[in-house]
Amino acid sequence: TETNGAKHFELEATAGETVFKPGRATATWGFNGSHLGPTIRARRGDDLRFTIRNHLDETTSVHWHGAHLPPEADGGPHQAIEPHGTWEPEWTVDQPATMLWYHPHPHGNTARHVYRGLAGLILIDDDAGDGLNLPREYGVDDVPLIVQDKNFDGDGQLEENDTFMSAVGIVGKEILVNGTYGPYFEASTRKLRLRILNGSNSRLYNFAFSDLREFSVIGSDGGLLAEPHRTDRIILSPAERTDIVVDLEPGETIQLQSLPVDIDFGFVYNRSHGMDDHLDVLEIRAADELSDSPDLPGSLTEIESLSAAAATAERSFRLSGMSTINGESMDMNRIDFGARVDTVEQWTVRNGNEFTHNFHVHDVQFQVASIDGEAPPPPLAGWKDTVLLVPGRDYRLLMRFSQYTDPDFPYMYHCHILKHEDSGMMGQFVVL
Ligand code: C2O
Ligand code: CU
Ligand code: CU
């Protein structure tokens, strides 16, 4: 609803049942329904207000992943919503068009809450994006995909124990897209835009089409890339998003798949973390007649490139084991540092072991300036809020915090393998 120029959304976290496989009801959680949550659509400049009610019998929270907002609205572990409690955050959207997502972030329990089904999307539009003539009819030629993996037990219930030999928690064998088992999409246009979220707790995906056709990557976590990038595959770690456009032929059926992930984590972890898996994700059935789509523009947006030379603070972060950053685990009462508003910071982040880790920072979209001194590949050259850390490499990230300062209320940075986040691979900073 819209009141006094503010857009008001209500989210009700509830327990319920969902039928994934015919004839079986699975206990799940969702927002405004039994599984997942509504897509929130907003424009740059909108004032957003939320009323979030927790009907579960345990404490949760709702974090707006990738959003630039004041710390009190961020929804991290300090904004717990008690059972039967209500939380009413608000902020003004001030970031480029992109797809963000929301999910719980309760201290130590994020993995279970997300896995049970608490997650949803936020689509942000802006004038620059509208002017581009990209596919943008929601559910027709602009289709968001929440990709998640689950394990079901013999009774059709979600298997919540860590996968055997796993150092990353649950690795699911069954893939759901937008909460649907065995999903397909009936396409009616020549160009199909897919905005993909890796909404899984720990699995990496290497997305590609069944015939290895090329597609165009047009956006990353925080907005459009400067120009479309042609490739035939793209890896996403948990919480990362990509925005791609694929060309279809009338009458054809193709599969969006996940290929084995070509990163060597060692034999044991490649296998137990699903890196060797070849999975079907979504069947795409093109109609016998497809309506024409405009050509993609040669250039999409201008990205101001942050300069390492201008960085006034340098910090380094080493993720190791399953629960520490720089040798320390998350402590709700410890603020790790203060970042200065409106200055460029350079963070060097390194995965210190062979487990899967990635790195996510709240409030800001950063740039990957280099990976082991080399320029990042094009899909990582735009705005990012989460980046996969290939073991043993130095990722140099540049970022600038703006607008919201608070000496006491922290934002988080952490590994987005939810088991690791819950085990303490997380720290807190304030913006001063
Ligand atoms: Cu998507 Cu702090 O998380
Ligand atoms: Cu986040
Ligand atoms: Cu990790």
278 to 174, 188, 194, 271: CA distances (angstroms): 12, 27, 20, 12
Overall average pLDDT of the 246-264 stretch:
96
Q: What is the pLDDT of residues 383-408, one digit of tens each?
A: 999 999 999 999 999 999 999 999 99
Same fold, 2-125 and 142-291: yes
Which residue puts its alpha carbon closest to atom 1 of ligand 1? 65
Residues 189 and 191: their CA atoms lie apart, in Å, by 5
- Asked if 197 and 145 count as a contact pair (C-beta separation under 8 A), the reply is yes
Asked whether the predicted pLDDT for residue 164 surpasses 90, the reply is: no
Q: Which atom of ligand 1 is nearest to the CA of 421?
A: 2
Q: How far is the CA of 326 from the centre of ligand 1 (A)?
A: 19
Indicate the pTM of the whole model: 0.97
pLDDT at 3: 64
Question: Which residues surround ligand 1 with Cβ inside 6 Å?
Answer: 63, 65, 103, 105, 239, 360, 362, 412, 414, 416
Q: Which residues surround ligand 3, an ion (CB under 5 A)?
A: 357, 415, 417, 420
**pLDDT value at residue 267:** 77
pLDDT per residue as tens digits for the range 45-79: 999 999 999 999 999 999 999 999 999 999 999 99
Q: What's the CATH fold of domain 2-125?
A: Immunoglobulin-like (2.60.40)
Looking at the CA of 421, name the nearest ligand.
3
Pull the structure tokens for residue 268. Answer: 């044991």
- Which numbered atom of ligand 1 lies nearest the CA of 66? 1
Tell me the two tokens of residue 375. Answer: 């320029």
Residues 304-346: tens digit of each pLDDT = 999 999 999 999 999 999 999 999 999 999 999 999 999 999 9
Share of the chain above pLDDT 70, in %: 99
Whether the complex's predicted ipTM is more than 0.90 is answered with yes
Which atom of ligand 1 has the smallest separation from the CA of 414? 2
Paired sense of beta strands 367-371 and 357-361, if any: unpaired
Query: Could you state, in order of their start, the residue ranges of all structural domains in the chain?
Result: 2-125, 142-291, 308-431
* Cα–ligand 2 centroid distance for 63 (angstroms): 6
Class of domain 308-431: mainly beta
Q: Which CATH architecture has domain 142-291?
A: Sandwich (2.60)
Tell whether the model's pLDDT for residue 230 goes beyond 90: yes
Question: What pLDDT score was predicted for residue 179?
Answer: 97
CA of 121 to the centre of ligand 1 (A): 13
Judge contact between 412 and 77, C-beta under 8 A: yes
Question: Is 4's pLDDT higher than 90?
Answer: no
Query: What's the rounded Cα separation, in Å, for the pair 318 and 395?
Result: 10
